[in-house]
Structure 1
Amino acid sequence: MVKRNLLRSLALAALFLSVTAPGAAADDKPTDPTYPGPVYKTVTDRSGLLSLQTFGRPDGKDMVFRISGSVYANIEGNSLDPALRHGQKLFNIEGYNIRRLYRVPDTTQLYQLSREIVFYTDPADPTRILREWKNPIDQKTYPVIPINNDAVNFGPFNITSSYVGPPVRQLHDENVWTSDIPVRTDFGATLGERFGLVGGVYAAQEMFDFSVDEREAAARTVPGTVPSGAMDTKISWARTSPWAPFMCLAESDVRGQLTYHARSWSLNSYAEIEPWLRAEIEANHPLFKAAPTAPGASENSWSSFYNKQLGKGATTWPAWCAANGHS
């Protein structure tokens, strides 16, 4: 699952199935100045209570949004057919965002702190992580770089009794709200790297639908209480964006985009992620077993690639493609 905005929606976010009995949890961290409970329980607006529980668990522990979906080629006029046809499924995506609510000590300010990792997987087998991908335009094979953003942080948000959330609609037995975000980032100006983007500008559209069952919402929006565990939340996410950097397709030369379509659902903790996915994390990406413990700089899919693959500008995107593509 460009992630700053994805997570604003997931947090925003952005993206638990099992929840401990909701209600007033014991203030089990009364001496921890970063514990969000005392600030959270001052909120009285129902939609505010719902949206804050997508930012993180009110009890201050880590929670997860598990992400699962597919990625398709979106090509104007089907102009790259037959090498790459419009609507072709290129990848599945499987991963998660792990997050927590963090209170700035002695204030009413809360942050959402998170890390996220999403793997591109075989279009025919979501559980088979792709290590390489053959570019059908230049016929070269490139390493597949997962979305691996450390970190994705938002805030601080001033949380008082006047805090309100987004408009919520009742659709059958579901509480639903949306977040649609047009994204525009000039990487040419901010990073000095154009990535083959038109004008060096990343332009995308992020669209989210959040859904919480009415019984769950009613149990977890009692003013003055701090619910335990994570709220059962479902998210639908769609994104239209340029080719991923590892694909080595310059948007300025190869007209087309990617369309991501995914589902996300809440989990109480990292331990509830499927064993096959945890095995990959523990073998190769152990940092993503936990959320950050303090605010810091954020990454998105492109700045992460810049930092980790391009050495923060030590090499360029065209040079990376030249060095990593093989016949």
Structure 2
Amino acid sequence: MIKRGITGLSVLVVLILGTSVSSAAADDAPAAPTHPGPVYATVTDQSGKLSLQTFGRPDGKDMVFRISGSVYANIEGNSLDPALRHGQKLFNIEGYNIRRLYRVPETNQLYQLSREIVFYTDPADPQRVVREWRNPIDGKTYPVVPINNDAVNFGPFPITPSYVGPPLRRSHDETIWTSDIGVRADLGGTLGERFGLTGGVYAAQEMFDFSVDEREVAARTRSGVPSGAMETKISWARTSPWAPFMCLPETEVRGQLTYHARSWSLDSYRDIEPWLRAEVEQNHPLFKAAPGAPGASENSWTSFHNKQLGKGATTWAGWCAANGRP
């Protein structure tokens, strides 16, 4: 979950070679003032062009990073066995981040605007969304809350001809780069809610590997403004505290979660599999599109605070007490 900050999370294959690049000048209609293309077109650095195309489509339309993976228990010394075993697969995860590039009108400032929805699914059946989870430590059953962050925004960041991206490497026929992020957030201090975390601080590690085929690199780094989404693959791993809905206080139940997922780009929301779109449209229709303008961001924990705790109307401990079913 591409997450920068706490989510990670947030994350990416659809363009046909030879049809993926077009010039902004070919469009006779004037660009909207928030269109990122004119600013993107000033970038000359190959890495800068590639990294910007993971933030969003340079043509200003929505793109998707489809996310698929698993979640495991990471327990020091296997100390919770047999109730909860180290290395035990607890869930599959299936979802996506939908994003766009947004230009602040009349400036060279760009934002990445996105929403992300990721469902915890059956460890034996990735397409079966898990609605409840039995906590093996206290024996109670809790409602499963998906990762549903509205929104996940970054920026503004200035784009000039000197804009550069991360260091690139070649691996066989692919160009690759990485992003490793150590996350620390004082939720107790900012939200007044400690979530059972040590010192009220959320601490996690997010690790991303990006890869783009050499033919796609050549097609997507020519002059002009590419259309569609760049064919990108991502490997994502996160080690983080127990998810809030699990009602496992870190201060009392030693252990963490390890997320391991793959992500790949899709041209638009309509390219997501029907079963996943049906789940979104029935229960989370807001996540069919990226935000239209910059605004406040959420992560898995602030989202839980805003939606499940009513922005502090109830406490995390109170939510667990009210929702835990024997």
Measured after TM superposition, the shift of residue 3 of structure 1 is: 3.3
Letter in 2 for 1:86: H
Alpha carbons 1:55, 1:112 under 8 Å: kept: yes
Contact 1:24-1:227 within 8 A present in 2 as well: yes
Match of 2:14 among 17, 41, 65: 17
Counterpart position of 2:161: 161
Deviations 1:54-109 (A, max 9, x none): 00000000000000000000000000000000000000000000000000000000
CA distance in 1, matches of 2:123, 2:247: 19
> 2:71–2:257: 8 Å Cα contact kept in structure 1?
yes
1:61-140 alignment runs, 5 A limit: 61-140=61-140
SS of equivalent to 1:3: coil
> What is the distance in 1 between the residues matched to 2:145 and 2:109?
35
Structure 1, residues 31-76: CA drift from partner, whole Å, max 9, x if none?
A: 4100000000000000000000000000000000000000000000
SS of aligned partner of 1:184:
strand
Asked if the contact 1:231/1:266 (under 8 Å) is kept, the reply is: yes
The residue matched to 1:175 in structure 2 has which SS? strand
Secondary structure of the residue that 1:266 maps to in structure 2? Answer: strand
C-alpha distance in 2 between matches for 1:30 and 1:90: 51
Deviation of 1:6 (Å): 6.5
Give the Cα–Cα distance (whole angstroms) in 1 for the partners of residues 37 and 15 of structure 2: 20
CA distance in 1, matches of 2:6, 2:268: 20
Aligned AA for 1:135? N
Q: Which amino acid aligns with 2:313?
A: A
1:14 Cα offset (Å): 3.4
> How many aligned positions are there?
323
Deviation for aligned residue 1:113: 0.2
Q: How does 1:179-190 map to 2 (within 5 A)?
A: 179-190=179-190
Matches within 5 A, 1:133-282: 133-223=133-223, 225-282=224-281
**In the aligned structure 2, how far is the partner of 1:31 from the partner of 1:221?**
21
Q: Which amino acid is the alignment partner of residue 39 of structure 2? A: V
Contact 1:177 1:211 in 2 (8 A): yes
TM normalised by structure 1 equals 0.96
Name the counterpart of 1:57. 57
- Answer yes or no: is the 8 Å Cα contact 2:11–2:67 preserved in 1: no
After superposition, give the CA deviation of every residue in 1:135-181 in whole Å (9 maximum; x if it has no partner): 00001000000000000000001001000000000000000000000
Would you say the 8 A contact 1:235–1:263 is kept in 2? yes
Post-superposition shift, 1:2? 8.0
3-state SS in 2 of match to 1:53: helix
Corresponding residue SS for 2:277: helix
Distance in 1 (alpha carbons) for counterparts of 2:2 and 2:275:
25
Structure 1: 5+ residue runs without aligned partners? none
Secondary structure, in 3 states, of the residue corresponding to 1:85? coil
Task: Indicate how the Cα distance of structure 1 residues 325 and 199 shifts in structure 2: closer, same or farther if over 3 A, else same.
Answer: same
Distance in 2 of aligned mates of 1:30 and 1:233: 29
TM-score (norm 2): 0.96
Offset of residue 24 of structure 1 = 2.5
Find the residue that maps to 2:319 and give its secondary structure. helix
- Distance in 2, matches of 1:262 and 1:42, equals 34
Give the 3 Å change call, closer, same or farther, for CA 100–220 of structure 1 in structure 2: same
- C-alpha change, 1:60 and 1:2, in structure 2 (3 Å) is closer
Q: Give the % identical residues.
A: 80
SS at match of 2:22: coil
Give 1:19 shift. Answer: 4.6
CA contact (8 A) 2:242 2:257 kept: yes
Structure 2: where are the runs of 5+ without partners? none
